[in-house]
């Protein structure tokens, strides 16, 4: 077992809340056909990306518990994949908030599955722009992001721009 102390765990929880905020922003309100949009034949669709992010978050929880378990879920419908995203965030955050020990370092969890999930949320934002349904830019420094707020309901943007 490794320990990063409370500060590493709290920063990781804040990162998970940031992922919920930014992920929620790009997952809300796309057109019905966005889930199957493909920039070219070599890219994943947004639905495939969201399913992969769910897999990453499930893996993060397994790693935190000391399990080496990966699974590739078959993408379902868009709404279900979005629900799964927030469910996986909630389960991971609940574990991080508990007194249960981390079987690996918070740094490793961040640099692996969590950073990868952040990257993929950015990909969805780019795909929305390419599909003609961009998400408004935002000064995320000013965003109301709170540890533990990892569901679909997020604070309204404080400062957006075009």
Are 153 and 130 spatial neighbours (Cβ–Cβ below 8 Å)? no
Report the b/e string of 88-102 with b at 16+ CB within 10 A.
bbbebbeebeeeeeb
Task: Enumerate the domain spans of the chain.
Answer: 43-146
- pLDDT of the residue at 4: 45
pLDDT tens string 73-87? 999 999 999 999 999
Q: What is the CA radius of gyration of the chain?
A: 16
Q: pTM of the predicted model, to two decimals? A: 0.93
- Compute the mean pLDDT over every residue in the chain, rounded to the nearest whole number: 95
What is the arithmetic mean of pLDDT over 103-126?
Answer: 97
Q: What is the DSSP string of 103-122?
A: SS-HHHHIIIIIHHHHHHHH
pLDDT tens string 49-67? 999 999 999 999 999 999 9
Position 120 pLDDT exceeds 90: yes
Percent with pLDDT over 70 in the chain:
96
- What confidence category does residue 2 fall into, taking pLDDT thresholds of 50, 70 and 90? very low
What is the arithmetic mean of pLDDT over 95-112?
Answer: 97
């Amino acid at each position: 077992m490794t320990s990063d102390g409370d500060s590493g765990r709290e920063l990781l929880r804040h990162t998970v809340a940031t992922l919920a905020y930014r992920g929620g922003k790009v997952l809300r309100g796309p057109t019905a056909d966005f889930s199957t949009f493909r920039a070219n034949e070599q890219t994943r669709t947004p639905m495939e990306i969201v399913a992969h992010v769910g897999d990453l978050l499930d893996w993060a929880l397994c790693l935190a518990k000391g399990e080496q378990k990966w699974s590739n879920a078959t993408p379902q419908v868009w709404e279900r994949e979005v629900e799964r995203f927030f469910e996986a965030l909630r389960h991971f955050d609940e574990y991080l908030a508990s007194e249960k020990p981390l079987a690996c370092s918070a740094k490793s969890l961040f640099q692996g599955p969590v950073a990868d999930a952040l990257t993929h949320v950015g990909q969805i934002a780019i795909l929305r722009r390419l599909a003609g349904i961009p998400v408004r830019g935002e000064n995320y420094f000013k965003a109301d992001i709170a540890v533990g707020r990892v569901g679909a309901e997020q604070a309204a943007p404080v400062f957006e721009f075009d």
